[in-house]
Amino acid sequence: MNAKEEFWSSYYGDVVKTGNAWLDYSNERVQAQTFGLALEAAGPIRSRRCLDVGCGWGHFSRLLDSLGAASVTGLDIVPDMIAHHEREYPRIRWICGSLSTGDLSTELGPCDVAFLLEVLQYLPFPEVLRNVWNQVLPGGRIVAVVPNANCSIVSRTRSRFGDRYAPLTVAQIEGELGAWPDVEGVEYRGWFFARDQRNVPYEISPWRSSGGWDVEPNRLQLVAIKSAAPVA
């Protein structure tokens, strides 16, 4: 675990002690909409092997299990949280560790869908994205949600944590994924704070193959699909 991850492990270890139920989500409605949009992007979950990177309190991992996933692995860097999950939810495989070096690849095993929801901003990019991609089977996909570095609201959090907090832009993501020969397709959509949040917190753009919104979204969602056929 590098210094950046050690900072966040300690930070969220303290947050867990406060009993915050959502960790990276400002409230329960944001969490619920995020989970719903992630599932929509993933497609059917039943009988698929799923990896939840940065699983936090494990809410999403348990949701995947309830939807009939063949297996669910929840990964996080906060030891106390993972120990709690192992005691309370033994049906799911819980792992405490870092993906920044790739040492966990054998322990994690292959997956059909890897979720990175509100976690890439805390991890060394692009190493983690590449290491996760290596676990995805042909025809599988990554579903990620990350703060948009071009959003002025996100920049306030960035100023608070400095280089420990690194939101991304579509250009950064494209620059990495565009060099991978086994990427079949990548699509993005932007999440914008809704003017009237009584129904849902975010208004969601259509899927698109690149960025370039007239107004910068608060969050970026991406889906990267791995080629089903081996790359020559």
- Domain ranges within the chain, ordered by starting residue: 3-226
Q: Report residue 206 as tokens.
A: 């259509």
**In terms of CATH architecture, what is 3-226?**
3-Layer(aba) Sandwich (3.40)
pLDDT of 15-70, one tens digit each? 777 776 655 656 788 999 999 999 999 999 999 999 999 999 999 999 999 999 99
Supply the pLDDT for residue 23: 55
How far the first Cα of the chain sits from its last, in Å, is 34
Rounded CA separation 142/197 (Å): 28
Supply the pLDDT for residue 21: 61
In sequence order, the β-bridge partners of residue 71 are: 49
Residue 59, C-beta contacts closer than 8 angstroms, at least 6 positions apart: 31, 35
Closest C-alpha to 74, from 34, 29, 111, 26: 111
Supply the pLDDT for residue 69: 98
Contacts of 82-90 with CB under 8 Å at 24 or more apart are 85/55, 85/58, 85/61, 89/58, 89/61, 89/62, 89/65
State the pairing for strand pair 183-193/202-204: antiparallel
pLDDT of 131-143, one tens digit each? 999 999 999 999 9
Whether 119 has a pLDDT exceeding 60, the answer reads yes
Q: Is 153 left (phi over 0), alpha (psi -120 to 50) or beta?
A: alpha
pLDDT of 173-227, one tens digit each? 999 998 999 999 999 999 999 988 888 999 999 999 998 899 999 999 999 999 9
pTM: 0.94
